[in-house]
Amino acid sequence: MLNKTIETALNKQIRIEAESSQIYLAMAVWAEVKGLEGVANFMYAQSDEEREHMLKLVKFINERGGQAFISELNAPNVTFSSFKEMFEKLFEHEQFVSNSINELVHITLQEKDYTTHNFLQWYVAEQIEEEAVARTILDKINLIGDDKGGLYLFDRDIKQLTVIS
Ligand code: OFO
């Protein structure tokens, strides 16, 4: 059974995952209208993954005797000055999510809730992977700079990049 502190903290994370999904959906749309299909598909997949992260929390809370709270969401940023800026924002956002997961893990230890602590290890591992992929993409973008041909190739190559899960 979840205690109230844990339930509230997990519900806060539901909102973060849902907002992440919206943020990446807005990035997908922006990339699509800019004509970069590879980047757009990557971001659509990212958005779906974040929704999965959210649903995993919803199920866990309900199964543990709590009730998942579905809240309103903040509107995401819908426009970017460049792809570099967009991927910088993605990286920053993933770091923010990692901090939030770490904080959650900390709370489970304080509350001695080892079941939730164990459940959260999946998110801890996931964040390591997500940050690594985001960093790899940023490194590539930095190499490309303003080169249009490079961006074209990047758009093609990103299809091969492991989708962040
Ligand atoms: Fe990419 O953040 Fe979910 O966990």
Tens-place pLDDT, residues 103-157: 999 999 999 999 999 999 999 999 999 999 999 999 999 999 878 899 999 999 8
Specify whether the CB–CB gap between 165 and 125 falls below 8 A. no
Query: What integer is the mean pLDDT of 50-70?
Result: 98
| Long-range pairs, 131-138, Cβ under 8 A, ≥24 | 131/91, 131/94, 131/95, 131/98, 133/161, 133/162, 133/164, 134/87, 134/90, 134/91, 134/94, 134/164, 135/91, 136/161, 137/87, 137/90, 137/91, 137/161, 138/84, 138/87, 138/88, 138/91
> What is residue 163's predicted lDDT score, i.e. its pLDDT?
52
Please name the residue whose Cα sits nearest to atom 1 of ligand 1. 94
* Residue 79, domain extent: 4-159
- Backbone region of residue 80 per phi and psi (left: phi > 0; alpha: psi in -120 to 50; beta: other values): beta
**Residue 165: pLDDT over 50:** no
Q: Does ligand 1 come within 6 angstroms of the Cβ of 17? A: yes
**Residue 99: pLDDT over 70:** yes
On whether 110 is known to bind a ligand per the annotation, the reply is no
- Asked if the structure places residue 52 within a domain, the reply is yes
> What is residue 147's predicted lDDT score, i.e. its pLDDT?
86
> What is residue 68's predicted lDDT score, i.e. its pLDDT?
98
- Asked if the structure places residue 165 within a domain, the reply is no
The CATH number that applies at residue 131 is 1.20.1260.10
**Residue 8: pLDDT over 90:** yes
Ligand 1 atom showing the smallest separation from residue 123 Cα? 4
Longest dimension (CA), the chain: 56
pTM of the model: 0.94
Ligand 1 atom showing the smallest separation from residue 97 Cα? 2
- Asked if the structure places residue 42 within a domain, the reply is yes
Determine the Cα–Cα distance for residues 118 and 34; give it in Å rounded to an integer.
42
Q: Does ligand 1 come within 6 angstroms of the Cβ of 93? A: no
- Asked if the structure places residue 39 within a domain, the reply is yes
**Residue 160: pLDDT over 80:** no
**Top mutation candidate among 43, 130, 163, 164 for ligand 1, by most atoms within 8 Å of CB:** 130
- Asked if the structure places residue 164 within a domain, the reply is no
Per the structure, the count of domains in the chain is: 1
Query: What integer is the mean pLDDT of 31-43?
Result: 96
